[in-house]
Amino acid sequence: MTLHIPFDNSYAALPDGFYSRISPTPVAAPSLIAVNRDLAKILKITLPEDTAEIARIFSGNALPEGAAPLAQLYAGHQFGHFSPQLGDGRAILLGETVGRDGLRRDIQLKGAGPTPYSRMGDGRAWLGPVLREYVVSEAMHALGVPTTRALAAVRTGEDIQRETLLPGAVLTRVAASHIRVGTFQIFAARRDGAALQRLYEYTRQRHYPDASDPAALLQGVIERQAALVAHWMSLGFIHGVMNTDNCTLSGETIDYGPCAFMDTYDPQAVFSSIDRHGRYGYAAQADIIVWNMAQLATALIPLMPDPEAAVEQFTAQVHAMPGLIRAEYERRFAAKIGIAAMRDGDKQLVTELLTRMHANQADFTNTFRALADGTARDQFSDATDFDNWETDWTRRLEDEAEPKALMRRTNPAVIPRNHRIEQMIAAALADDDAPFHRLNAVLSRPFDDDPGAADLRRPPTPSEVVPATFCGT
């Protein structure tokens, strides 16, 4: 049996200016690290027994029948500065499938060799970021967060030059689409109205079939992105590089570079080594996503019959976004303390807890998880700080039907902690993939109490703390 992917490609039918046709560059000795069988099933992909055959396909050494490989063109604001042309510099879209659930998804190789958009890059990825994206994106999916997913990871058998020589790898990424704010920006910046119109029609059909005009599409994206960022924040997740080229129209999380989950609660937390001014820090995410939507709105204006009226309308839509984020944030944090339907004073209760957690350097994930077990006070350096809050909270919960169940399905027991990711990568560099497989297994059920996974729930010891993360390009 050979590996079969039932391709149904639509992006490749768009005009030439949207992408460059390019095949993956073969690698020396592909070997399979992991293939996501559950996801393959959803995508209607048949997998052979022979892992060498799977590695050949998901390294790019063999093209599956029906693939129409291409690198997509896009632009983007990177740390606030507009780059008029980026594009897939190391990613190659193989094509799309329509899954068992009726959803169309992209299948893309990341690290598959140079493309016309590689600029100075080598088109490759090293093992660390590939495994990190595999683990974190699958964990996010299990946590219920809209996200791209990981279908496979393959070692290339080649070393690539970074600061040192490092083993290369290829990630197969699956996404609702790879259309980014930057995809709209490139055609708007070029004043290519026909391409912009075409992209709008394509995006509307693929993601917002009910949208009657660009304003409605913008509204759809704003709502999904507002919900997404509030969801991230409710889990202590920091994306790390929310450039407009890393911001999807579908509302999925994309591009797991220097991302991190915080351990102790700190609203100012920043991990990315390249984010010197905290532009993409934990709390800043709620502001910067609004800025990103303003860039999308700007790119959509030429599509509107009356640009001046459009500016007014889009401005109102963007200005309403902070309210949407706040409402989602408040709803999610209320649920985290066991409150299903919010009422006056609940916001205050959440803020009070977070302030005390910050002052006491409480672990974000473990404190919320412990609320349902009655052991949260152990997370505070001064437990009386918690006790004072608990009195008010307990009284409030008397009016809630099933606060404990709500908290247990809202507050994960386990997240991909930075130090465990680093340890997993270090092991894989020494050819031990067991920690990678174990992380995937445990993180596939993040809301379970698994006594065998206690070590993965433990915060880092002082020497294990990861002070900074790297995008690893």
Ramachandran region of residue 74, left (φ > 0), alpha (ψ -120 to 50) or beta? beta
Residue 219 interacting with Mg ion (CB under 5 A)? no
**Helix-helix angle 193-207:181-189, to 10 degrees:** 160
Return the residue of 30, 64, 95, 123 that touches ligand AMP, per CB under 6 A: 123
Please give the Cα distance from 84 to 87 (Å, whole number): 10
CB 222 within 8 A of CB 324: yes
Q: Pick between residue 229 and residue 357 the one whose CB is nearest to ligand AMP.
A: 229
Residue 183 interacting with Mg ion (CB under 5 A)? no
Residue 108 interacting with Mg ion (CB under 5 A)? no
Q: Are strands 81-83 and 31-35 parallel, antiparallel or unpaired?
A: unpaired
In the bound complex, which residue of the shown chain has the CB atom lying closest to Mg ion? 255
Give all strands (DSSP E) within 162-221, no chain letters: 165-175
Site size for Mg ion (CB under 5 A): 2
Q: Minimal CA–CA distance to 59: which of 194, 153, 179, 166?
A: 153
Nearest distance in Å: CB 118, ligand AMP: 4
Residue 132 interacting with ligand AMP (CB under 6 A)? no
Q: Give the DSSP H or E segment for 96.
A: strand 91-98
Task: Choose from Mg ion, ligand AMP, none: what does 69 bind? Cβ within 5-8 Å by kind.
Answer: none
Please, how many CA atoms are within 13 Å of residue 68, restricted to the half-sphere of its CB? 17
Return the residue of 124, 132, 279, 408 that touches ligand AMP, per CB under 6 A: 124
Scanning the structure block, which residue is given the tokens 């493309």?
115
Residue 72 interacting with Mg ion (CB under 5 A)? no
Q: Pick between residue 122 and residue 433 the one whose CB is nearest to ligand AMP.
A: 122
CB 469 within 8 A of CB 261: no
Q: Give the DSSP H or E segment for 439.
A: helix 434-443
Please give the Cα distance from 319 to 286 (Å, whole number): 13
Nearest distance in Å: CB 129, ligand AMP: 9
Active site residues: 245
Nearest distance in Å: CB 471, ligand AMP: 5
Task: Choose from ligand AMP, Mg ion, none: what does 110 bind? Cβ within 5-8 Å by kind.
Answer: none
Task: Choose from ligand AMP, Mg ion, none: what does 122 bind? Cβ within 5-8 Å by kind.
Answer: ligand AMP
Q: Pick between residue 76 and residue 214 the one whose CB is nearest to Mg ion.
A: 76
CB 15 within 8 A of CB 198: yes
Please give the Cα distance from 117 to 121 (Å, whole number): 9
Residue 61 interacting with Mg ion (CB under 5 A)? no
Q: Pick between residue 107 and residue 334 the one whose CB is nearest to Mg ion.
A: 107
Residue 255 interacting with Mg ion (CB under 5 A)? yes
CB 157 within 8 A of CB 31: yes
Please give the Cα distance from 288 to 299 (Å, whole number): 17
Choose the stretch contacting Mg ion; rule: CB under 5 A; options: 205-213, 240-248, 263-271, 461-469: 240-248
CB under 8 Å to 164, separation ≥6 — which residues?
Answer: none
Give the count of beta carbons closer than 10 Å to the beta carbon of residue 426: 12
Task: Choose from ligand AMP, Mg ion, none: what does 86 bind? Cβ within 5-8 Å by kind.
Answer: ligand AMP
Return the residue of 106, 255, 263, 328 that touches ligand AMP, per CB under 6 A: 255
CB 466 within 8 A of CB 423: no
Return the residue of 137, 244, 246, 285 that touches Mg ion, per CB under 5 A: 246
Applying the rule CB under 6 A, the residues between 82 and 121 that interact with ligand AMP are: 86-90, 117-118, 121
Whole-angstrom Cα Rg for the chain: 23
Return the residue of 257, 403, 416, 435 that touches ligand AMP, per CB under 6 A: 257
Task: Choose from ligand AMP, Mg ion, none: what does 121 bind? Cβ within 5-8 Å by kind.
Answer: ligand AMP
Residue 473 interacting with ligand AMP (CB under 6 A)? yes
Applying the rule CB under 6 A, the residues between 234 and 253 that interact with ligand AMP are: 246
* Residues near ligand AMP, by CB under 6 A: 86-90, 117-118, 121-124, 246, 255, 257, 471, 473
* Residues near Mg ion, by CB under 5 A: 246, 255
